[in-house]
Structure 1
Amino acid sequence: MMWLTWRQMRAQTLWTGALVAAAAAYLLYLAADIRDTHRLTITDCTTACADARHAFAEEFGPGLLLIGLLLIAGPALIGAFWGAPLITRELEAGTHRLVWNQSVTRKRWLAVKLAVVGGVSVLFTGALSLLLTWAAGPFDNLVDSRFEPLTFAARDLAPFGYALLAFTLGLSVGVLTRKTLVAMAVTLLVFTGFQLAMANLVRPHLAEPVSTTVTWTEARAIGSIDSFGVGPEGARIQNYVLTGAWVLDDEIIVYKGDGTEVTEADLKACGLGIEPDECLTALEATFTVNYQPADRYWTFQWIEFGIAAGLSAVLIGVAFWRLPRGLN
C-alpha cells in the first residue's frame, strides 16, 4: 500500500516539493537580507533611529505580508487539490475495487493514504512556516505585531494545524460527496470560511480581554496613536497600538478627567497656539483600551492548533465511519 500510494502521488509530490524548495531558497535569501539590513540600519544605528526603524518596516513589511498570505492560502489549496481528490479520484475511476479485492481492508487503505499524503502535506506547510518564522524574526521583533491576522496564522504552530485540518476536510468531504469537483469547491469554501471566522470571531475571545485605562500623558509612552480626530460626536482615537499587545478596539472614545467625553468645544477652549496634546493633558484626558497581552501569544497558538487538530480528528472519524458504508 505504501508503494502504491507513492506511485499515485509521486508526480504532484515532486512538483510540490520543487515549489517548496524554491520557496525555502528564497526565504533563506530573504533572511540574510533582513539580518544584514537590520544590523546596518538598526543595531548599529546612532542617529535618526526612529526613521531607520520606519524605513526597515516599510522595506520588508509588504513582502513578508505577501509571503504570509501565500502560506495561509497553501493549506486551502492542499485540502482542495490533495485531500479532496484522494478518495474521489479512485471512486470515480473504480480503481479502489482492485485494492479491496487484494485482501487490503478499506480502513487500512484509507489509513495509509491519510498517513502518507496527509503527513507530506503537513510537513511541507510546517517546514515553510518554521522557515518563515525564523527568516522574519528580526522584523517581527522590531514591529512586534505577531497578533496581526496574516502574521499569526503564518507563524509557528498555527500552520501545522491548518494544513492538517484542510487536508482532512478535503478527504472527508470527498468521502461524503464522492464527486471530485464538488469536494474541491466545498473544501475551499468551508476552509476559507473557517479561517475568516477564526481570525475575526474566535481568536479575539480565546481568553478574556484585559481592559485598562490610559491617561493621555502615558498614551504615547506605552503605545502609539495611529490617528486622532474630533467631531460633533466627540474625540476618537483610531487604531491605538499598545506595544506587543493585540488591541481589540478599532475606535476608542476619549474622556476628560471628570468622566465626560472630550468635545470639539473643549479643544477650542484651550485657545489658539495650544497643541492638542497639551490641551488633552490639561483636560486630564483618558481612554479605555481592551487588548490581549503579548504573553498570551503562545497560549493562543497552542489553543488554535488544538482546535484545528481536534476538528481534524472528528473529520478523520467521519471518513473512517463512512468509507465501509455504501462505497462499492
Structure 2
Amino acid sequence: MIRLALRQFRASAWTAAIGLLAVAAVVLATRSHLATAAAAAHRACGDDPDCPALATFVHSNAPLSTAVGLVVLVTPALIGAFWGAPMVAREIETGTHRLVWTQSISRTRWLAVKLFVVGTVTVVLTGLLSLLVTWWAEPLDKAAAAVYGTFDQRDLVPVGYALFALAAGLSLGLVTRRTLPAMALTFGGVLAVRIAVATWIRPLAATPEKTAFALDPDHTGYGAGGNILLGIPKASLQPPPPDLPNAWIRSADVVDGTGRPLTDAVFRSTCPTIGQDGGGRAAGPVPAEVAQQMHDCVARLGQTYRQAVAYQPGDRYWTFQWWEFGVYAAITVLLCAYAFHRLRRHGG
C-alpha cells in the first residue's frame, strides 16, 4: 500500500522538489550579497539603530524579500488545494478507491497510508523551505528589527500552516466528493482561518507589556490615515512610532495620567490653530510658522498627556511561534479525526 501511495504521489513530489530547488538557487545566489551589504550598513551606523543606512539596506532589498516571503506564504494553501483536496476526492470521483478496498485493505488503513506519505513530504518540504528563507533573511530581519512583521514566513509556523491546509483540503474533499470544488473551498477556508487566527487567537499567547513615552514635540504631527475601503478615521495627534525594536505594537494611544484618551474637545481648546483645515497637506516642506505652532501645541499637551503603549517584546517571539504552531497542530488533528470518521461512515 505504501508503494502504491508513493507511486501515485511521485509526480507531485518531484514538482515540489523542483520548486524547492529553484528557491534554494535564488537564496544561495543572493545570500552572500545580503550579508555583505548588511555588514557595511552596520559598520556605517555603529550603535545608532535609527541610522539611514540600515533603512536604505532594507528598502533596497524589499522587492526580493517580498517575493521570497510570498513563496512561503502561499505554499501551505497550494499544498492544501493540490495535495489535500484531491487526496480522496479524486479517488471517489474516478471510482478507483473501490478497487483498493477490494484488496483486503480497510478504508482506515488506506487513508492512513496516503496521509502519512503526503504528510511526511509536506513536513519535509515546508520545513526546508522555511529553514532556507529564515537563514537567507537573517541580515534583513536584523536590520529591520521587526521580527513580528515576518512572523508567518519564518521558522516553525509555516510547517503548522501546511499541515493544517493539507488536513483542511482532505476534509473538504471528503465532504464535497469533487476535486475542483474542494480545491476552491480549501483556498478560501485556509485564508479565512489564517486571518482569524492572526487576528484573534495569536494575541492570546501572552498578556502585552505596557509602557509610556513622553510626547515628542519635534516629531509629533497631526492628521488622519487609513484604508479608504475600511474608512479613514478623524484627524488626530500622530506621535512617532514607539522606539521598541522587534516589538509587536498592540496599541499606542495618547492618554492622560488616569488613562483617559485625548478627546477632540481637549485638543481643540489646547491647540485652537491646529487642524483648522481638517489636517493633512500637500507634499512638501511644512512652513516654519505651522511647524512652530505644532511644536508648541504638543509641548502644552505633553504636560498632561503621554503615549501609552501595549506591546509584545521581541524576546517572546518563540513563545508565539510555539503557541501558533500548537493551535494549528490541534486544528489539524481535529480535521484528520473528522476525515477518518467521515470515511468510515460514508465511504465512497
SS of the equivalent of 2:146 reads coil
For 2:175, the equivalent position in structure 1 comes to 176
Counterpart AA for 2:154: R
Q: Aligned to 1:120, what secondary structure does the other structure show? A: helix
Which residue of the partner structure matches residue 311 of structure 2?
291
Cα deviation 1:176-215 (Å, max 9, x = unaligned): 2211112111111111001111222222333222222222
Where does residue 126 of structure 1 map in the other structure? 127
Partners of 2:46 and 2:309 lie apart in 1 by 34
Q: 1:156 and 1:229 mapped to 2: Cα distance? A: 39
Q: Could you tell me how far apart the structure 2 residues matched to 1:47 and 1:314 are?
A: 49
Tell me the equivalent position of 1:158: 157
Matched with 2:230 is: none
Question: Could you say which residue in structure 1 is the equivalent of 2:244?
Answer: 242
How far the C-alpha of 1:278 sits from its partner, in A, is 7.0
The Cα shift of 1:122 comes to 2.3
Q: Tell me the number of residue pairs that the alignment of Structure 1 and Structure 2 aligns.
A: 319
Question: 1:228 matched to which residue of 2?
Answer: 221
Relative to the length of structure 1, the TM-score reads 0.86
Q: Are 1:15 and 2:15 an aligned pair?
A: yes
1-structure distance, mates of 2:94, 2:325: 35
Structure 2 unaligned residues grouped into runs of 5+: 225-233, 274-287
Q: Deviations over 1:68-99 (max 9, x none)?
A: 12211110111011100011111111111221
Q: In the alignment, which residue of structure 1 is the partner of 2:279?
A: none
Partner Cα distance (1:146, 1:295) in 2: 10
| Matched residue, 2:71 | 70
Letter in structure 1 aligned against 2:245: T
Query: Could you say what secondary structure the match of 1:286 adopts?
Result: strand
Unaligned runs of 5+ in 1: none
Identity of aligned residues (%): 38
Q: What is the Cα deviation at residue 304 of structure 1?
A: 0.2
Contact 1:236–1:252 under 8 Å retained in 2: no
The alignment's C-alpha RMSD in Å is 3.1
2:185 is matched with 186
Deviation at 1:66, TM superposition (A): 2.7
TM-score with structure 2 length normalisation? Answer: 0.82
Return the letter of the residue paired with 2:10: R
Structure 1 residue 291, shift from structure 2 partner: 1.2
For residues 46 and 316 of structure 2, the distance between their equivalents in structure 1, rounded to whole angstroms, comes to: 33
- Pairing 1:1-328 to 2, within 5 Å after superposition: 1-43=1-43, 50-148=51-149, 151-216=150-215, 228-229=221-222, 234-237=236-239, 239-240=241-242, 242-249=244-251, 252-253=253-254, 255=256, 261=262, 263=267, 266=270, 274=292, 276=294, 280-281=298-299, 283-284=302-303, 285-328=305-348
Distance 1:207 1:5, change over 3 A: same
Q: 1:258 to 1:44 in 2, by over 3 A?
A: closer
Tell me how far apart the structure 2 counterparts of residues 172 and 27 of structure 1 sit (CA, whole Å).
Answer: 34
